[in-house]
Amino acid sequence: MHAEMFRDFVADCETAGEKDRAANYLAGVADFGHYLETLKTSTQRTFWLINDSRMVGVVRIRPELDADGETYDEHIGYDVRPSFRRRGYGGALLTMALAKARRLGLRRVVVTCLGSNAASVRTIERCGGRLIEVISDKETGEPLNRYEF
């Protein structure tokens, strides 16, 4: 059941033209069992938001960041399935992840998003994120907003 929900989530990303986002999950499409094992041994924690037997979103919590991560990465990253956006799921994922991050001992949580991603900017700010700086994304050069909670 979970493998099918996962494949459906990835297919939704692909259908929406989000090939890069879908590519992040292709290992799970190819070999779901192995993918789950890699999640169990990863330094980041991954959680899925499921509603009515559909995988609505994914959130990743990185309790520790390396030196490069301190500048460009975030403690929390999340993806909402394209067909479920604009329904409050991004805020729900972020709120739940922030609570989990606190339980994991993080006093300061950093979240990033591209400045051009107005929906993510609104979600982060509605959840209480405070803009600390805007830097250039290391891959695209686009403005990258860094927030802290």
The pLDDT of residue 136 is 94
In this prediction, residue 69 carries a pLDDT of: 67
CA distance 15 to 22: 10
pLDDT in tens, 5-39: 999 999 999 999 999 999 999 999 999 999 999 99
In the predicted structure, residue 70 carries a pLDDT above the cut 90: no
Supply the CATH classification number for the domain 44-148.
3.40.630.30
User: Could you give the CA distance from residue 119 to residue 16 in angstroms, rounded to a whole number?
Assistant: 16
Q: What is the pLDDT of residue 149?
A: 97
Q: Which of 133, 50, 132, 49 is nearest to 94 (CA)?
A: 49
Q: Spell out the domain ranges in the chain.
A: 44-148
State mean pLDDT over 64-85. Answer: 85
Strands (E), 10-137: 45-51, 54-61, 76-80, 110-114, 130-136
